[in-house]
Amino acid sequence: MSLALDNTQIIKRPLVTEKASWEGNDRNRYSFVVDINASKPQIAAAVAEIYKVRVVGVSTQVRKGKSFRNKYGAGQKSDWKKAIVQVHEEDKIELF
């Protein structure tokens, strides 16, 4: 079952880490936190429309939420999905 998601619901936020910044500058690959139900074609279309770039490829990972303990017992944070988007070599995404 595929839900109709808006582009701003598919792409939640850019993932800004040291490794992601390096990949963006050197390899034209940008990382985003995306909706866990979004497919690769949906992610590619959303990035292309929001940032006005040509998407070459999309890689995804489902990251498991971390376990934690506090005075109320044990818990677990939600799972989340990371997308690494390869952009055409002539295009750039300016995040800042």
Residues linked to residue 80 through DSSP beta bridges, in sequence order:
63
Q: Which of 58, 65, 68, 67 is nearest to 80 (CA)?
A: 65
Q: Tell whether the model's pLDDT for residue 76 goes beyond 80.
A: yes
Asked whether the CA dihedral 69, 74, 77, 79 is positive or negative, the reply is positive
Fold of 7-66+77-87: Alpha-Beta Plaits (3.30.70)
Mean pLDDT over the full length of the chain: 93
Contact 20, 96 (CB under 8 A): no
Element holding 61 (H helix, E strand): strand 55-63
pLDDT (tens digit, 9 = 90+) per residue, 7-51? 999 999 999 999 999 999 999 999 999 999 999 999 999 999 999
Q: Are 33 and 16 in contact (CB under 8 A)?
A: no
pTM: 0.88
pLDDT at residue 86 is higher than 70: yes
